[in-house]
Amino acid sequence: MEKLVIEGGKPLEGEVEIAGSKNAVLPIMAATLLTDAPCTIRRVPKLRDVMTMIKLLRSLGKKVEMTGSTVVVESRGPLHHIADYKLVSTMRGSFCVLGPLLAKLGKANVSLPGGCIIGVRPVDLHLKGLGALGAKFEIENGYVVSQAKRLKGTSVYLGGIFGSSVLATANVLMAATLAQGTTIIESAACEPEIENLCHFLKAMGAKIEGTGSYRLIVTGVKKLKGVSFDVIPDRIEAGTYILLAAATHGNVRVKGADYAHLWALIDKLKQAGVDVIQEKNAIRVKVKKTLTPVGITTHPYPGFPTDLQAQFMALMAVTPGVSVITERVYPDRFIHVAELNRMGADIQREGTSAIVQGVKMLHGAPVMASDLRASAGLVIAGLAAKGRTEIHRMYHLERGYENLDQKLLALGARISRERE
């Protein structure tokens, strides 16, 4: 096992290129189960989660090859209907094979999902949506055991107590493409990753209206074809590098980032005094002055992303003054608070909010990564801090950031991997 070692206090400067979106490519890869024809997916980031999805697709009977950033998925015989615990339990995104397997085979046994420890994340909306299409479910020995002789189109509302569910929308959307009749998904997630999935499915021959909106209308077809497709850039990776530049008072060009996907973050950063400039196929971030504290509340897209909450908190921790950070998507997503406080931050949790009293300087310390985005927050804190920071369990970072240490080295960071 390795740890990440950072010597902080140095502004980041230069250019970094953003990889394809992890949260877009996982359901897109799952959607290849809907067809027997070959599919080519480009701009695929080389991440632990992507490798897990490749293993899962292979276990279900697909032939999958990855060359560089291109993944080719082909059929090699009949599909299997059991998605194994050892794979699904490590990554929540793998649960989105449930809808495609049900649509294609009429049955699916999928392990209940795992992933980051960021609070309760039930699968009730997945089962509600697929159940409305005619699927029957039982929970047996940690598996969702499901059957459906033929899925039938219907209207279903997918809003939950914390908003729309991205993965539930993906599961129901994919299943509906091969269902009989028309399905209307109300309160669908409208994240760019779902929009990208819609474009992928439409390229395969699916009939979908309302792409990018809260209301998706899907008319089922008998068969889907193979396709070649490009994944959108990862808005969370882009947002993380933007916040890295801001926290270190650097000057960084984030190449390949989509400005339109990051409005909520950019608006808050401009309020704080960060120069965020839209360039051709890039976003330039510069900080020349002392920043002003700004509060945020996370919401489903187009609101402030919960996946950037920990990183934004790290920035506010080194911004003198008081800011309030409220979590409305995963109310328990505050495990990183204790680790930031180990570095000298002054943060108090109050229910679903954190009160951040910004300090002039954080100090390096040994810290423990608890989940993917919390780990990124600790990297930001480490680069902004004085002295040496050791981030243990860095494998969390490898789930969602491609070549993070190498990209940061190219920006002038003093960062290395060491054996535990």
Annotated catalytic sites, by residue? 116
* Cα separations in angstroms, 154 against 146, 157, 198, 318, 409: 18, 10, 18, 50, 52
Cβ contacts of 392 within 8 Å, gap of 6 or more: 3, 366, 367, 368, 369, 420
Tell me the C-alpha distance between 54 and 77, whole Å.
16
DSSP 39-99: EEEES----HHHHHHHHHHHHTTEEEEEETTEEEEEE-SPPP-EE-HHHHTT-GGGGGGHH
Tell me the C-alpha distance between 181 and 219, whole Å.
6
Exposed (0-12), middle (13-18) or buried (19+): which is 222, by Cβ within 10 Å? Answer: exposed
Per-residue tokens: 106 = 């009429």
Q: CA gyration radius for the chain?
A: 21
DSSP 152-174: B--EEE-EETTEE-HHHHHHHHH
Cβ contacts of 378 within 8 Å, gap of 6 or more: 314, 336, 339, 340, 367, 369, 389, 391
- Whether the Cβ atoms of residue 295 and residue 319 lie closer than 8 Å to each other: no
Tell me the C-alpha distance between 417 and 420, whole Å.
9
Exposed (0-12), middle (13-18) or buried (19+): which is 417, by Cβ within 10 Å? Answer: exposed
- Whether the Cβ atoms of residue 264 and residue 276 lie closer than 8 Å to each other: no
* Other C-beta atoms lying within 10 Å of the C-beta of residue 420: 9
Tell me the C-alpha distance between 142 and 115, whole Å.
15
Per-residue tokens: 200 = 């992928």
